[in-house]
Structure 1
Amino acid sequence: MTFLLQGCIMFGQNFAYNSFVPGELWKDNKGTHINAHGGGILFKNDTYFWFGEHKGSTNNAQVGVKVYSSKDLYNWKDEGVALSVSKDPDSEITAGSVMERPKVVFNEKTGKYVMWFHLELKGQGYEAARTGVAVSEHVTGPYQYLKSFRPNAGLWPENFKEDWRQPKPGLDSLRWHSDPWHEALKKGYFVRRDFEKGQMARDMTVFVDDDGTAYHIHSSEENQTLHISELTDDYLDFTGKYVRVQPDGQNEAPAIFKYQDTYYMITSDLTGWRPNAARSFKADSVLGPWKPLGNPVRGTEEDKKRTFSSQSTFILPVQGKNGAFIFMADRWRPEDPIDGRYIWLPVHFEEGKPVLKWYDEWDLDFFDQKENE
């Protein structure tokens, strides 16, 4: 017997998806809910590889980074654990640490796959604010953990004014979120504070430009300012070239893409695990300046306030379709993290701005219809 159920065709006990149904359970080839939260996708060897956080009953890492593969973006095969937590209690990635938002890129020069992720050390809450890096000869792993650190120690951002580099006594006593505190933040208070040990790096993504240069985009300065940093040729470190984006803008969950020589970015506000209104930006260069475009969500007021009850994680270019991008987001469930859902929606463009609209169900034919409009 064959019948259609929530975007998948059932053949006895087997099934195959033929559409996206945002927010619904999404099962892998084993019939298990896909466990790849805060993820990103790499297209290699005519295959999509989805890397994400494995979650269980808590948000702490107990397994590591999972990877799935797909030929069509609907049906995903469980390829196992790409980067495992360590059994060594002294390891930085021991079980119980926090490993978030993994992103994998392929380095054409070295032939290696490089994974970056946000790392918090076990038992330290979110105080470490580090970025971690791992590498593999094979796309599905296993990945070898190399190190974690706070980036750009002892270096000033390229768009940081000379007079802001000098010590400013008395700022430590400012009340957080007071007007003087916000003014001090804009003028680099946290950049100076963290200058020697390196800048904070939490929510992050990685973007590889057309010329092969890679960039690490992350929330810094107590999550109040985004930093965009250039990576070395092998993608395993930072060159030291970086900029501040939207100082005091309170942006996190960055997702970036390029279309028709323009760079676009979608982010979220800071409300913990609770959804909020998305923001969008554009620039002529990855390093900016970035121009605010406003909330990309179209729909009800509730949709706009909560971004369809989700938070951005990645924007995926669809292979073989010009101007086709998928907004990937997570619908977090902190009380039961493993049950977090995935919100995938097509990106529209209206008056030069990326726009997000809700669809209960949709498929990749959407982009073919768009081309014919």
Structure 2
Amino acid sequence: MRMRNKYRKSTTLRCNAGSRCSLPVLVWTLVGFLLMLHLYTLISQNSIPNKDIRNGISQNPLLRELEEVEEENLQMPPPRKRSPRAAKRKPKKATTLIDEFLDESSQIRHIFFPSIKMAVDPMKDAGNDSLYYYPGRIWLDTEGNPIQAHGGGILYDERSGTYYWYGEYKDGPTYHAHKKGAARVDVIGVGCYSSKDLWTWKNEGIVLAAEEENETHDLHKSNVLERPKVIYNDNTKKYVMWMHIDDTNYTKASIGVAISDSPTGPFDYLYSKRPHGFDSRDMTIFKDDDGVAYLIYSSEDNSELHVGPLDRDYLNVTPVVRRILVGQHREAPALFKHDGTYYMITSGCTGWAPNEALAHAAESIMGPWETMGNPCIGGNKIFRQTTFFAQSTFVLPLPGFKGSFIFMADRWNPADLRDSRYVWLPMTVGGAADQPFDYSFGFPLWSRVSIYWHKRWRLPGRGSG
């Protein structure tokens, strides 16, 4: 028999007009009120910047054209004929568009890798073709040669008003060092191109060259040099290059550092190391508004990213490091900043095969970072799921157009890496994010990142097309 404890205090409270209220209900009501108050405060603090972003993008006629979504009606080619005996011996599995992309004998390969006849040649193109980007086409420099600046980034030199594009110079034959090795090109060096308009690029030569003789050198042609990025140090007046340094089997997993007095080099190679004692593969560097620079790199076998500030000279990391996107297996980070918020585009880890990009955001570059979903818009479903058959490498802000950027990516050609293409597309930051946090019901308060697919586009304010 259950006995009532006459000494137990009541868990209800007397409310208005003598009614009785449950204590848990009252507590949750108070919690809900506080959450709503906090949400209102945050929205109020961010309402002005977001309003400016929406007005700057949606109402600016120069930008409206870039936000128009273009679709792609990409069809699978008819299956190749096989003899009944071959089909019985080894039934053919279903082929995907990614398989077709990776197959150098595909019937639709020209869609992904248009021929040299369709190359963008700034020295010959005139009239309606002038200043237009064609993602995926061969892009020629002022000398009529294909630009070799893969996995690269851009430095804007304020003193000369010039853009410098640095990247991997892959103008060599593609081969496999051994049966299970990845496709590779011998290290040639870091190429540099200069431009005033971001469309016409002059070849400034190889600013960091490979080492031909010394097999123990990091830059020996048998090793790996990837994703070079250059920033300017206002304190030392030096141009500093950071890059991914590795051996043929990707076991060295280090960063390399070089320095120069000029943006066009030559750069003097200093050393390589594993930053903070961790393995480092795909990486980038980011210079913040206050002059502090940061290294961001894939680590722990690409299962997470690490971020940490560089020292005052940008020649080494400091002991401070944070692990971000733990367990998410992301690489190819491309960072940028807008209205005090840090954003990052990353790729999945599928080797040379394309995969889905994700956008991330944080109030502090040291984290925590939140994942906001796939930023790609237009094309078709497979285009969006493969980052338009490309991989992120850099994000360049557009001066004079708040919330507008150029998203730079590489369309890798593992059958012939020197023929890998560049996919530059307009990107905007504005409007509400449309995907909730991974771990809760809430939506991020920062703005959505959108990368728009275009077969043909040009920067706003470059005349009428």
Shorter-chain TM band: 0.7 to 0.9
Q: Give matches, 1:9-48, under 5 Å.
A: 17-44=130-157, 45-48=160-163
Q: Name which of 196, 221, 226 aligns with 1:95.
A: 221
Quote the offset at 1:319 in angstroms.
3.0
Is contact 1:61-1:99 (8 Å) kept? no
Task: Indicate whether 1:360 and 2:455 are aligned.
Answer: yes
In the alignment, which residue of structure 1 is the partner of 2:313? 234
Which deviates more, 81-90 or 224-233? 81-90
Is contact 2:121-2:140 (8 Å) kept? no
Is contact 1:204-1:219 (8 Å) kept? yes
In the alignment, which residue of structure 2 is the partner of 1:170? none
Counterpart amino acid of 1:41? Answer: I
Distance 1:282-1:302 versus aligned 2 partners, 3 A rule: same
Counterpart amino acid of 2:322? Answer: V
In the alignment, which residue of structure 2 is the partner of 1:309? 389
Q: Name which of 267, 273, 278 aligns with 1:143.
A: 267
Cα shift readout 1:279-306 (whole Å, capped 9, x = no counterpart): 1100011101111101111232112211
Gap runs ≥5 in structure 2 = 1-117, 175-183, 433-446
Quote the offset at 1:367 in angstroms.
9.7
Quote the offset at 1:6 in angstroms.
6.9
Quote the offset at 1:19 in angstroms.
1.3
In the alignment, which residue of structure 2 is the partner of 1:73? 198
Q: TM-score, normalised by structure 2?
A: 0.65
Distance 1:78-1:290 versus aligned 2 partners, 3 A rule: same
Is contact 1:7-1:361 (8 Å) kept? no
Quote the offset at 1:353 in angstroms.
1.1
In the alignment, which residue of structure 2 is the partner of 1:110? 236
Quote the offset at 1:7 in angstroms.
6.2
Q: Name which of 173, 188, 194 aligns with 1:57.
A: 173
| Equivalent-residue separation in structure 2 for 1:97 and 1:288 (angstroms) | 33
Greater helix content: 2
The number of residues matched between the two structures is 317
Cα shift readout 1:173-204 (whole Å, capped 9, x = no counterpart): xxxxxxxxxxxxxxxxxxxxxxxxx1011001
Greater strand content: 1
Counterpart amino acid of 1:86? Answer: E
Quote the offset at 1:92 in angstroms.
1.4
Q: Name which of 417, 421, 424 aligns with 1:344.
A: 424
Quote the offset at 1:62 in angstroms.
3.0
Quote the offset at 1:60 in angstroms.
3.4
In the alignment, which residue of structure 2 is the partner of 1:326? 406
In the alignment, which residue of structure 1 is the partner of 2:9? none
Percentage identity across paired residues of the two chains: 46
| Equivalent-residue separation in structure 2 for 1:70 and 1:78 (angstroms) | 9
In the alignment, which residue of structure 2 is the partner of 1:283? 362
Quote the offset at 1:323 in angstroms.
2.5
SS in 1 for 2:409: strand
SS in 1 for 2:377: coil
Is contact 2:185-2:417 (8 Å) kept? no
Task: Indicate whether 1:253 and 2:378 are aligned.
Answer: no
| Equivalent-residue separation in structure 2 for 1:130 and 1:143 (angstroms) | 18
Distance 1:9-1:287 versus aligned 2 partners, 3 A rule: closer
Distance 1:9-1:332 versus aligned 2 partners, 3 A rule: closer
Counterpart amino acid of 1:120? Answer: D
Counterpart amino acid of 2:460? Answer: D
Is contact 1:135-1:145 (8 Å) kept? yes
In the alignment, which residue of structure 2 is the partner of 1:127? 251
In the alignment, which residue of structure 2 is the partner of 1:156? none
SS in 2 for 1:309: coil
Quote the offset at 1:339 in angstroms.
0.3
Cα shift readout 1:307-330 (whole Å, capped 9, x = no counterpart): 100000000112343322110000
SS in 1 for 2:321: strand
Counterpart amino acid of 1:85? Answer: A
Q: Name which of 210, 216, 222 aligns with 1:85.
A: 210
| Equivalent-residue separation in structure 1 for 2:301 and 2:122 (angstroms) | 47
| Equivalent-residue separation in structure 1 for 2:275 and 2:280 (angstroms) | 7
Distance 1:47-1:9 versus aligned 2 partners, 3 A rule: closer
Quote the offset at 1:368 in angstroms.
10
Gap runs ≥5 in structure 1 = 153-197
